[in-house]
Amino acid sequence: MKAILMIGAMFFAFSFCGLQEKLKQMQSGSNGNSSSSNSAKTSGSTEKAKPTSAQQAIIDGGTETKWDEQGLSWKLPSGWKKMDVKKEMFDYESPDNAFMHANVSLLSDDFPMDASLKATYDQALQQLKQGKYQDAKMVEIDGIPGVEFTEAPPEDKDGVRRHQWIGYRSYLGQKQQLNVMTSTSGTKFDKHRDDFTAILYSLKSTK
């Protein structure tokens, strides 16, 4: 079961590669005046991450877990342990097969982060309209704007269900896409729902 969940999670983590390829093609039509700020900006409605009291309690009681290579950290619930951490990949798991996966995709200097953020949001809204997502919204976490979405329950109750956030930032002069995904089986998702939101919203980024 663990292998199935991880394979499903990894497959979904790279499902936005097609979107990235389309966005790279957009660069040829841009004027080169892309944002130079620490994070992308958009004219859409972006709310700041606001955990509920239950989620804040999980954050307050969590263990700070750092990804030194990327200047990032999260507060993970008790019992979560490292699976694999590399320069561009960060994987942890809970004792009952819930997973947290983060990866960084390096972007070219002229990559249009604003347009990419909007395209990611538009795609999420389309998935929401089609019933594949339960919710989708623009959420800024620790100054980084991104798109947060939750998958609808899978047809197979034991199938993988994910809660994900994709943001864009500049770090040490390098533009990046930051993809943070939490997942578990459909039967365990509600048990971990607050854990997943708490993990996403606990993100801290070195400025």
The total domain count for the chain is: 1
User: Residue 32 domain-assigned?
Assistant: no
Token pair belonging to 29: 């039509």
The dihedral sign for the CA sequence 10, 12, 16, 17: positive
User: Residue 73 domain-assigned?
Assistant: yes
Cα distance between residue 82 and residue 89, in whole Å: 12
The mean per-residue pLDDT over the stretch 114-126 comes to 97
User: Residue 171 domain-assigned?
Assistant: yes
Q: Is 15 helix (H, G, I), strand (E, B) or coil?
A: coil
Query: Residue 23: which domain range?
Result: 2-27+40-205
User: Residue 156 domain-assigned?
Assistant: yes
Q: Tell me: the pLDDT tens digits for 168-204? A: 999 999 999 999 999 999 999 999 999 999 999 999 9
Q: So what's the pLDDT on residue 207?
A: 78
User: Residue 177 domain-assigned?
Assistant: yes
Q: Tell me: the pLDDT tens digits for 20-58? A: 455 445 444 444 443 333 445 444 588 999 999 999 999
Q: Tell me: the pLDDT tens digits for 59-92? A: 999 999 999 999 999 999 999 999 999 999 999 9
In order, the DSSP letters of 93-147 are E-TTS-EEEEEEEE--TT--HHHHHHHHHHHHHHHHHTTSEEEEEEEEETTEEEE
* Buried b / exposed e along 135-145 (16+ C-beta atoms within 10 A): ebbbbbbbebb
User: Residue 167 domain-assigned?
Assistant: yes
User: Residue 123 domain-assigned?
Assistant: yes
CB–CB of 148/161 below 8 Å? no
CATH classification at residue 47: 3.40.1000.10
Token pair belonging to 118: 């909007």
Q: Residue 6 pLDDT > 70, yes or no?
A: no
Q: What is the CA radius of gyration of the chain?
A: 16
User: Residue 33 domain-assigned?
Assistant: no
Higher model confidence: residue 23 or residue 152? 152
